[in-house]
């Protein structure tokens, strides 16, 4: 492995710019290549981030022998094809959330990584931010006793402008909707705390473009634990998560990008921790990838592939309950 871990960026859109900002601040990382479906867009991104190799298609990026690991940042339907393209070219992959659109895609992607013995991880960045590490410590230490209930909501108000209505979030052709875009953070949090649910109940409002604009999900677990989740793309909600246990609770304001959390143990003073990001929060998932690669690991213990699959299966069940299917996505390659 090279001295610095050498990154390629695939799909230089909105989130790729933020991730590149984070990577530029990590001494052990170097962005060496970017791939776009259009060379001018690759050039613009490369110029902005001082990247030497720019490619006008994704296959060239995947074949670039300078690259150790590719960050896949296309819209959801194309994660699987782009990630497999890179794995088959011998690259490690950090794949944006949601891991894939459905179970079939997730199983194929995981099978490819395992057959090829290449590293693969879902970019569920909120798992790696320092406040969430502290929350896991509190849970492991039994600070709130047995965690039994959880609530989490994530809703953003996206204007119903003609431009947005034609964009990724509202388009069935790009697997738009609240669940896959931001509801996945609530499902992933519940998975981190309770594991795989055994009971799933949900409701959604499907808007005029044919995607879920708001949704509520109840997850039940064998031990009697319950998670109460909601998400929306047409209104801002509180973005709060609370984990309730037999001895207290954990409150995580702005949980998807948390920089503080409060431990509230019965009969004790609340303990609030505040841990600001070093850059913008996306650096911690990159550091996890780098550490895994340095340790020759094929997956992360914090965001393992079987758990990414379980999260996708839960969301498949939810969408089946709504009768929400997407049209064929076509090929991105
Ligand atoms: N972690 C986070 O906080 C976070 C935040 C936002 C989004 N995301 C995830 O990151 C992924 C990308 O989101 P984004 O908001 O960055 O998306 P975006 O800007 O709309 O698209 C990203 C890039 O994908 C490429 N692309 C390939 N096929 C495309 C198609 N059919 N339509 C549009 N673009 C296509 C485009 O690059 P070229 O054509 O130049 O190759 C585009 O710039 C999504 O899966 C999303 O869930 C994560």
pLDDT in tens, 19-64: 999 999 999 999 999 999 999 999 999 999 999 999 999 999 999 9
What is the pLDDT confidence band of residue 1, given thresholds at 50, 70 and 90? low
125 lines ligand 1 (CB under 6 A): yes
Q: What's the gap in Å between 322 CA and the centre of ligand 1?
A: 25
Strands ordered across the beta sheet of 260-265: 199-206, 212-220, 226-232, 147-155, 241-245, 248-252, 260-265, 271-274
pLDDT in tens, 157-212: 998 888 888 789 999 999 999 999 999 999 999 999 999 999 999 999 999 999 99
Q: Which two tokens stand for residue 125?
A: 């960045």
Q: Span 101-114, mean pLDDT?
A: 98
Same domain, 67 and 177: no
Question: Looking at residue 2, what is its pLDDT?
Answer: 58
In DSSP terms, which residues pair with 70 in a beta bridge?
A: 8, 93
Q: Is the pLDDT of residue 105 over 70?
A: yes
Same domain, 174 and 117: no
Q: Is the pLDDT of residue 231 over 70?
A: yes
| pTM for the structure as a whole | 0.98
Where residue 61 sits, what CATH number does that domain have? 3.40.50.720
Same domain, 63 and 193: no
Where residue 149 sits, what CATH number does that domain have? 3.30.360.10
Same domain, 84 and 206: no
332 lines ligand 1 (CB under 6 A): yes
Peptide bond into 98 cis (omega under 30): yes
N- to C-terminal Cα distance for the chain? 28
Q: Domain range holding 42? A: 5-125+283-300
Q: Which two tokens stand for residue 182?
A: 């931001």
pLDDT in tens, 17-26: 999 999 999 9
> Could you give the number of structural domains in the chain?
2
Q: Span 315-320, mean pLDDT?
A: 98
Instruction: Look at residue 141 and tell me if it is in a domain.
Output: yes
Instruction: Look at residue 332 and tell me if it is in a domain.
Output: no
Atom number in ligand 1 closest to CA 41: 40
């Amino acid at each position: 492995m090279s001295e610095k871990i050498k990154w390629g960026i695939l799909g230089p859109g909105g989130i790729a710019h933020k991730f590149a900002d984070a990577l530029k601040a990590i001494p052990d990382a170097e962005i060496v290549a970017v791939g776009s479906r259009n060379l001018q867009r690759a050039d613009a991104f490369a110029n902005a981030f001082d990247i030497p190799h720019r490619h006008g298609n994704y296959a060239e990026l995947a074949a670039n022998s300078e690259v150790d690991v590719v960050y896949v940042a296309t819209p959801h339907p194309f994660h699987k094809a782009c990630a497999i393209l890179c794995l088959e070219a011998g690259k490690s992959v950090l794949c944006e959330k949601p891991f894939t659109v459905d179970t079939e895609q997730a199983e194929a992607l995981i099978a490819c990584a395992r057959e090829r013995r290449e590293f693969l991880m879902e970019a569920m960045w909120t798992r790696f931010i320092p406040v969430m590490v502290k929350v896991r410590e509190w849970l492991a230490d039994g600070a709130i006793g047995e965690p039994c209930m959880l609530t989490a909501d994530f809703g953003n108000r996206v204007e119903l402008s003609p431009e947005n209505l034609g964009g990724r979030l509202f388009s069935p052709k790009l697997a738009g909707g609240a669940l896959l875009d931001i509801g996945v953070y609530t499902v992933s949090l519940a998975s981190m705390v309770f594991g795989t649910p055994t009971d799933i109940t949900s409701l959604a409002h499907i808007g005029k473009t044919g995607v879920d604009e708001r949704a509520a999900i109840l997850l039940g677990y064998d031990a009697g634990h319950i998670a109460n989740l909601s998400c929306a793309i047409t209104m801002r909600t509180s973005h709060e998560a609370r984990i309730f246990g037999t001895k207290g609770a954990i409150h995580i304001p702005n949980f998807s990008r948390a920089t503080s959390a409060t431990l509230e143990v019965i009969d004790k003073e609340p303990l609030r921790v505040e841990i600001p990001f070093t850059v913008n929060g996306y650096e911690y998932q990159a550091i996890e990838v780098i550490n895994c690669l340095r340790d020759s690991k094929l997956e992360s213990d914090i965001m393992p592939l079987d758990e990414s699959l379980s999260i996708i299966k839960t969301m498949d069940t939810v969408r089946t309950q709504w009768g929400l299917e997407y049209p064929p996505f076509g090929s991105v390659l």
